[in-house]
């Protein structure tokens, strides 16, 4: 793609972008997408306006690449809302599937798509897709939230300037590359070498069951938690003097050891890559997982939580994805694009949940599109402590053709018992 001269500012790619541009993640779609039927009064002009303002707020949505070393950030939006019509629901679904499911080209005009397929005056199919090179789940939530906010502003006639985020992705990329080339980069290298020597280069599989098929049967198990689960977990964290995330992770690690009888059984720890000051709300930063296990017997739940906290604290301190470090250092630190056996999250959406609130004046029904080549969590169990809602839950998302449900249920029961014992 040729970016219009005079309209783009040039700067380096981030380390995460560089890894993708030089070959990582090249064997799957890399799409974050969602689609939903909307019933009600949808103001299409307001959708157009809202999406353009989202693109103006987040410069990563205006990013293209000259090479793995250099990116351009355009002044204006690189995508707009496309409007289609369909005679039947099936036709609308197929239009949206083809529109969203077409892979992005790394030398193409932007990495986002938005479309509306109109079926009638009060029925619409809305869809959005963003390439993983500029998006992770945390960024996805921010972009979706801004989309609905700007839609409401457009309905209210608000034409004020788009407020800036605290940091642009362009500036993040420049600062990240500068820091990684200096003393901090050397510290990262030394840390990750020692870390992978202890924990390996990839999380081990969740060794349950006797075998599996090539089928994909997505399954969800939900375990209702006590109403005061959040307060009890926070109390546990305060007693151990660690983060709630370390406590939640420790509970699943201990449960995994119990279910598998394997002292070296491990999990994938979420690593957000937001290590620079002022970048917490910057859209476009990668999230990646790193391996973690206990590796030795511990005496109590408090000690387990402290052990996990020390490890996760170090991971966040030297926040550089192992795949990126591997390519930057020309070393083998982690296999590319492999599914971890067990993944833990706290108050975070599962990988399959990319929903956004319906636009004001409409009701939403979410649609799962079968995208050819899309990545599926065939060999991963995602365990999520959902403590935001009024009914706290412990939830597992997994492939039933790979993991026996009885073992997954035992894992959840053991994790709850470990962290929220009766009578505590």
* pLDDT given for residue 351 in this prediction: 46
- Name residues whose C-beta falls within 8 Å of residue 307's C-beta, 6 or more positions apart in sequence: 250, 294, 298
Q: Is the pLDDT of residue 67 over 50?
A: yes
Residue 310, pLDDT score = 82
User: 169's torsion region: left (phi>0), alpha (psi -120 to 50) or beta?
Assistant: alpha
Higher pLDDT, 320 or 115: 115
pLDDT at 352 over 60: no
Q: How far is residue 312's CA from residue 234's CA, in Å, rounded to a whole number? A: 17
Give pLDDT, residue 169: 92
Residue with tokens 């839950």: 393
Q: Which two tokens stand for residue 418?
A: 């470990």
- Cα-Cα-Cα-Cα torsion 244, 245, 246, 251, nearest 10 degrees, comes to 90
**DSSP tally for the chain: helices H, then strands E:** 11, 14
The pLDDT value given to residue 4: 45
Say which residues have a Cβ less than 8 Å from residue 281's Cβ, sequence separation at least 6.
Answer: 142, 165, 166, 167
Lowest-pLDDT range of 210-224, 232-246, 312-326? 312-326
How much is the pTM?
A: 0.80
Residue 257 has pLDDT above 90, yes or no: no
Q: Are strands 63-67 and 31-40 parallel, antiparallel or unpaired?
A: unpaired
Region 259-279 average pLDDT: 73
What average pLDDT does range 45-56 have in this prediction? 96
Strands 266-271 and 70-74: unpaired
Map out the domains of the chain with their CATH numbers.
Answer: 8-172 (3.30.559.10), 182-354+370-419 (3.30.559.30)
3 confidence band (pLDDT: 50, 70, 90):
very low
Q: What is the mean pLDDT of the chain?
A: 83
Residue 74 CA from chain centroid, whole number: 25
Each residue's pLDDT tens digit, 91-144: 999 999 999 888 888 888 889 999 999 999 999 999 999 988 888 877 888 898
């Amino acid at each position: 793609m040729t970016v219009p001269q005079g309209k783009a500012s040039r700067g380096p790619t981030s380390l995460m972008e560089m890894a993708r541009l030089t070959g990582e993640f090249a064997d799957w779609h890399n799409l974050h997408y969602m689609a939903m039927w909307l019933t009600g009064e949808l103001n299409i002009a307001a959708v157009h306006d809202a999406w353009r303002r989202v693109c103006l707020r987040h410069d990563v949505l205006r990013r293209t690449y000259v090479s793995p070393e250099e990116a351009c950030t355009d002044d204006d939006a690189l995508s707009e809302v496309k409007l289609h019509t369909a005679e039947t629901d099936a036709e609308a679904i197929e239009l949206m599937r083809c529109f969203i499911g077409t892979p992005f080209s790394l030398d193409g005009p932007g990495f986002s798509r938005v479309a509306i397929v109109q079926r009638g005056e009060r029925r619409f199919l809305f869809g959005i897709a963003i390439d993983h090179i500029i998006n992770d789940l945390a960024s996805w939530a921010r972009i979706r939230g801004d989309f609905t906010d700007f839609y409401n502003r457009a309905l209210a006639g608000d034409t004020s300037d788009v407020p800036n985020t605290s940091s642009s992705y362009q500036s993040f990329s420049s600062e990240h590359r500068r820091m990684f080339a200096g003393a901090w980069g050397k510290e990262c290298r030394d840390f990750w070498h020692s870390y992978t020597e202890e924990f390996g280069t990839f999380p081990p599989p969740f060794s349950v069951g006797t075998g599996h098929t090539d089928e994909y049967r997505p399954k969800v198990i939900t375990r209702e938690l006590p109403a005061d689960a959040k307060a009890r977990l926070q109390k546990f964290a305060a007693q151990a003097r660690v983060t709630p995330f370390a406590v939640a992770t420790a509970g699943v690690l201990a449960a995994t050891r119990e279910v598998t009888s394997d002292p070296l059984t491990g999990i994938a720890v979420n690593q957000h890559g937001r290590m620079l000051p002022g970048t917490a709300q910057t859209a476009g930063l990668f999230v990646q997982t790193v391996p973690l296990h206990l590796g030795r017997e511990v005496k109590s739940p408090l000690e387990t939580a402290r052990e996990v906290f020390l490890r996760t604290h170090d991971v966040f301190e030297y926040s550089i994805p192992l795949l990126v470090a591997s390519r930057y250092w020309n070393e083998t630190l982690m296999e590319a694009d492999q599914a971890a056996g067990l993944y833990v999250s706290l108050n975070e959406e599962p990988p399959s949940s990319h929903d956004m609130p319906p636009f004001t004046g409409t009701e939403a029904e979410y649609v799962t599109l079968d995208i050819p080549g899309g990545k599926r969590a065939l060999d991963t169990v995602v365990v999520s402590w959902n403590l935001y809602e009024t009914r706290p839950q412990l939830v597992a998302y997994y492939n039933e053709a790979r993991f026996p449900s009885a073992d997954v249920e035992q894992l959840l029961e053991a994790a709850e018992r470990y962290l929220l014992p009766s009578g505590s």
